[in-house]
Structure 1
Amino acid sequence: MFTELLDKLKNSTYITLETTPGHSPKFSNVIDKLESLGLQNLVDGFSTTDNPLAKLKYNSLFAAKMLQERFNKPVIATMSMRDRNIIALQSDLLGANESDIRAILALTGDPAKLSDQPHVKGVFESDSTLLLDIIACFNSSIDYAGKPFTVKPEPIYPFGVVNSYARNPKTLQKKMQKKVAKGAVGIITQPVYDIESTKLLLELMENAKQESSLGTDDATLILGIFPITKLRTAQFLASHVPGINVPDIWIEKLRRANEISPEEEYKVGFELSKELFESIKEIHPKIHLMTANQFEIAKDILI
């Protein structure tokens, strides 16, 4: 399952779809929605998020297990450094390993101050590179303290993330290089919104791989796409989310459409997003689609 996903990542078209577990003891309703739309037939795999914005959600590892069992498709489970110390990270990886949850997206995590839970404090023993180091140890059949396991874990495939925009692009390259050196097989970008940024990110990734003497040149850049169908979403991303650049032309077109009607606003936003998806697919068909569980939009983008 995972070797096929990695083969597609390196050699073919690769598309994964993000799912966000809800504030609920059940994840099956999300899976049922995916199945009702036939999305399992349109993507190569899924991902599950880990309490984004420090808001309490269903566990990402359990959600990944349920998705894999229903669709027999690989799932990349997110693990955040915010909520776990070194012991908990390793314990979760051990349990996930026997359950065949072996593609892990390592995140530092959003600040705990954003949480909806009282008195929450972030753990943050390190940033996401610590989890990449732990995974490298597991793949060498030792724990982070260097103690050998009685049974060798099944291979774990680590993924990382990087912003899609920075005033100084070299900072992005350095972050890519660091995660390549730590063994990431794929690096997923924050959403991109223009082809120029796409080409720059690909160039930076190639430079990062060439300059990384410790990692593998098999690491692949995966371009994040988040469709925008509302003006307020575009303005929020442009103004309040670091590491993302929404072009002025998108905001202007959405503003004009917004003045006509909500239907026109949606139409214009969807057309911009669909055109971007198709253009990126031609240039570099390694895409991670994020829709905040608006799976109808995901299907319309993918078909």
Structure 2
Amino acid sequence: MFDTLIDKLHNGTYITLETTPGHSASFTPTIDKIEALGLDSLVDGFSTTDNPLAKLKFNALFGAKLLQDRFNKPVIATMSMRDRNKIALQSDLLGANEFDVRAILALTGDPATISDQPNAKGVFESDSSLLLDIISAFNSGMDYAAKPFTNRPKEIYPFAVVNSYAKNPKTLQKKMQKKIKHGARGIITQPIYDLEGAKQLLELKESANKECCSENKSAELILGIFPITKLRTAQFLSSHVPGINVPPCWIDKLREAHTKGAQEEYKVGFELSKNLFDELKALHPKIHLMTANQFKIAKDILL
């Protein structure tokens, strides 16, 4: 399952769909929606998020297990450094490993100060590079303290993230290099909204891989896409989310459409998003689609 996903990542068309477990004791209704729309036949795998924005949600590792069991497709489970120390990280990895949840997206995590849980505190023993190092140790048959396991874990496939925009592009290259040196096999970008930006990121990835070639390490870039169908979403991403650049022309077109009503606003936003998806897929068919569980939009984009 995972070997096929990695082979697609490096040699074929690779599309994964993000899922966000809800504030619920059951993830099954979300999976049912995916199945009803036939989305499992349109993607190569899924991902599960880990309490994004520090808001309490269903566990990402258990969510990944449920998705894999239903669709027999690999799921990248997110793990955040915010909520676990190195003991808990390793314990969760060991448990997940026996249940074949073995693709892990390493995140530092959003600050606990924005949590919906009173007085929540972040752990943050390190950034996501620590988790990547732990995975490297596991893949060598030992824990982070270099103690060999009684039963060696099955191979874990580490993923990481990077911003899609920076005023100084070299900072993105350095971040990519750091992720690669710590073992990331795939690097997922924040949402991209212009073709030239994607081309620049691919060039930076090539440079980062060359810098790491002496260590015999490399990673593939996965282009993140988050469809925008509302003006306020474009404005929020542009003004309040670091590392994302929404072109002014998108905001101008959505603003004009907004004056004509919600239906026109959605139509214009969807067309912009769909055209971008098609352009990016033609440029570099390694895509991670994020829709905040708006799965009908995901299906319309993928068709």
One-letter amino acid of the structure 2 residue matched with residue 196 of structure 1? E
Separation in 1 of the partners of 2:172 and 2:161?
10
TM-score (norm 1): 0.99
Distance across 2 between alignment mates of 1:171 and 1:216: 22
Aligned partners of 2:181 and 2:217 also within 8 Å: no
Deviations along 1:176-235, whole A, 9 cap, x unmatched? 001111111100000000001000000000000001146545410000000000000000
Runs of 4+ in 1 over 6 A off after TM superposition: none
TM-score normalized by the length of structure 2: 0.99
Any gaps of 5 or more consecutive residues in structure 2?
none
* Aligned residue runs from structure 1 range 67-78, under 5 A: 67-78=67-78
Aligned to 2:292: 292
Q: CA RMSD in A?
A: 0.7
SS state at 2:95 partner = helix
Tell me, yes or no, if the aligned pair for 1:253 and 1:268 is still in contact at 8 Å.
Answer: yes
Query: Does the 8 A contact of 1:81 with 1:124 survive in 2?
Result: yes
Is 2:241 aligned against 1:277?
Answer: no
Asked whether the 8 Å contact 1:182–1:215 carries over to 2, the reply is no
Question: Aligned in 2, Cα 1:67/1:200: closer, same or farther, shift over 3 Å?
Answer: same
> d(CA) in 2 for partners of 1:84 and 1:214?
32
Contact 1:229 1:266 in 2 (8 A): yes
Q: Which consecutive residues of structure 1, in runs of 5 or more, have no partner in the other structure?
A: none
Aligned to 1:247: 247
- How much does 1:90 deviate? 0.1
C-alpha distance in structure 2 between counterparts of 1:188 and 1:216, whole Å: 20
Could you tell me whether the CA contact under 8 Å between 1:25 and 1:58 is conserved in 2?
Answer: yes
Corresponding residue SS for 1:288:
strand
Q: Is the 8 A contact 1:180 1:216 kept in 2?
A: no
User: Secondary structure at 1:292's aligned position in 2?
Assistant: coil
Match of 2:130 in 1: 130
How many equivalent residue pairs? Answer: 303
- Following the alignment from structure 1 to structure 2, what is the Cα–Cα distance between the partners of residues 219 and 251? 33
Tell me which residue corresponds to 1:228.
228
Aligned partner of 1:144 in structure 2 is 144
Residue type of the alignment partner of 1:280: L
2:81 & 2:138 partners in 1: Cα distance?
17
For 2:156 and 2:264, locate their aligned partners in 1 and report how far apart those are by CA, in whole Å.
45
Alignment of 1:36-55 (within 5 A): 36-55=36-55
- Alpha-carbon deviation of 1:40? 0.2
Conserved? CA contact 1:181–1:213, under 8 Å: no
